[in-house]
Amino acid sequence: MKSSQSLLIIMKNNSRNSRTTHTPFFTSRLDRRAFLAASAGTAIGLILPKPVFAAKVVSRPLRFYNIHTRERMVVDYTPGSYGGSVRQALEYFLRDFRTGEMHTLDALLFDSLYAIQNNCEVQTSFEVISGYRSPSTNEFLWKTSSGVARNSLHMQGRALDIRVSGLPTKTLRDLALNLHQGGVGFYPSSDFVHLDTGGKRSW
């Protein structure tokens, strides 16, 4: 496929094959709160009137545009059940566009995008500046650009550089910081936000 061609894929996250499960961070937080509430109730002899359940997680479309390949993609994403055709489509879409190499991607990245979209007042289309980077590409960028880490989490499929069309990048940064997850880097001169699933930090 020529890089100038647009690609529109609508994927449904309903494959039972090769699905992996993970605990979305916001439901795990709710579960922990419910656990603590139940523990406190037990400690002081109270019986909770009803079991406390985590919020229901529903699938929602995540829209993407890759500024380098000019491809577009929509995936129907459900936090906690990243796998099957959705996983394959995202790994291809977020490949190293310079070398064509693909890598596994951390599902928590997409949980973050899902949460940002839910807290966003505009219909989001995530513009991808950088997804997976092969070691050779990262080394090249480290030597020729500023603001590139030599041991970047992009090389582990645990980082994305994004902006949202129609949304100030500063607002996107604030939405990402409000998740209290991983790393959030703000690059106003290049107009994007770096998200990763490493330790909680910001710059």
Size of interface with Zn ion, in residues (CB under 5 A)? 3
Closest C-alpha to 37, from 18, 13, 53 = 53
Considering only 5-13, 30-38, 131-139, 194-202, which stretch makes contact with Zn ion by CB under 5 A? 194-202
Report how far residue 160's alpha carbon sits from residue 131's, in angstroms, rounded to the nearest whole number.
5
Q: Which is nearer to Zn ion, 86 or 159 (CB)?
A: 159
Half-sphere exposure of 115 (CA within 13 A, CB side): 21
Minimum Å gap between C-beta 151 and Zn ion is: 12
Which token pair is 178?
């409000």
Considering only 102-110, 118-126, 170-178, 189-197, which stretch makes contact with Zn ion by CB under 5 A? 189-197
Minimum Å gap between C-beta 194 and Zn ion is: 3
Report how far residue 3's alpha carbon sits from residue 12's, in angstroms, rounded to the nearest whole number.
24
Instruction: Please report, in angstroms and rounded to a whole number, the separation of the first and last CA atoms in the chain.
Output: 37
Minimum Å gap between C-beta 130 and Zn ion is: 6
Q: Residue from 87, 95, 133, 194 that binds Zn ion (CB under 5 A)?
A: 194
Position 161 contacts Zn ion (CB under 5 A):
yes
Considering only 45-53, 61-69, 72-80, 186-194, which stretch makes contact with Zn ion by CB under 5 A? 186-194
Report how far residue 52's alpha carbon sits from residue 18's, in angstroms, rounded to the nearest whole number.
31
What track of x and - describes contact with Zn ion for positions 131 through 160 (by CB under 5 A)? ----------------------------x-
Angle at 109 between CA 8 and CA 99, to 5 degrees: 60
Q: Give the interface with Zn ion as residue ranges (CB under 5 A).
A: 159, 161, 194
